Amino acid sequence: MIDLYYWPTPNGHKITLFLEEAGLPYTIKPVNITQGEQFRPEFLAISPNNRMPAIVDHAPLQKGAAISVFESGAILLYLADKTEHFIPADVRGRVEVLEWLFWQVGGLGPMAGQNGHFSRFAPEKIPYAIERYVKETGRLYGVLNKRLADREYIAGAYSIADMAAYPWIVPHQMHGQNLDDFPHLKRWFEAIQRRPATTRAYERAAAVSA
């Protein structure tokens, strides 16, 4: 029913986490971003920002032509609305999920991404850039840690806000963070790690990059 244009990176994992939790049938269409496949015209037609993930839903709710969605936050929201799962229906619960979803796509993801770039992948080690993004990643971890001090998941029950954030905590060592400094975040991280759907999502990832 759903084609998932995917490569096993944190933004890609967000969507396999959802699809495995929801039990929706999907087919992975690998987009090897290390080989430039994100620039192919057929992919750009559904993802004009030349980034994965993207989806094509061949059985949308109101029938008709297939719907394509790019941007991981938009995809998570689309799938949550489609299935009526992992986002509350009530306005207060829904707005909390959206706040933290947008916090992830606008903050944690880009900052941790820059952190990984300058700490691990940049050909030149630039201390200012490394320090800036390691520090900002740590600040964001602190924000999430505080949020999780008095609740099990980020916004009520397990939701798309958790699915968006979790894959960006997985590379915490590469990002210069020690989870022991963030005990509530660590407890949340380990709880999501133990979910069977998380295991399945990361198994799909390993199969794609094998």
Ligand X SMILES: N[C@@H](CCC(=O)N[C@@H](CS)C(=O)NCC(=O)O)C(=O)O
Residue with tokens 């990002």: 175
Among residues 33 and 208, whose Cβ is nearest to ligand X?
33
Smallest gap from Cβ 53 to ligand X, in A, equals: 6
Among residues 89 and 121, whose Cβ is nearest to ligand X?
121
Pure H helices in the chain: 10-22, 41-44, 72-83, 91-103, 109-116, 127-147, 160-169, 183-193, 196-209
Residue with tokens 């933004």: 11
Smallest gap from Cβ 90 to ligand X, in A, equals: 26
Among residues 38 and 198, whose Cβ is nearest to ligand X?
38
Give dist(CA 173, CA 134) in Å, integer.
Answer: 11
Smallest gap from Cβ 100 to ligand X, in A, equals: 14
Give dist(CA 187, CA 110) in Å, integer.
Answer: 24
Smallest gap from Cβ 84 to ligand X, in A, equals: 23
Contacts to ligand X by CB under 6 A: 9, 11, 33, 38, 50-53, 71-73, 105
Among residues 22 and 74, whose Cβ is nearest to ligand X?
74
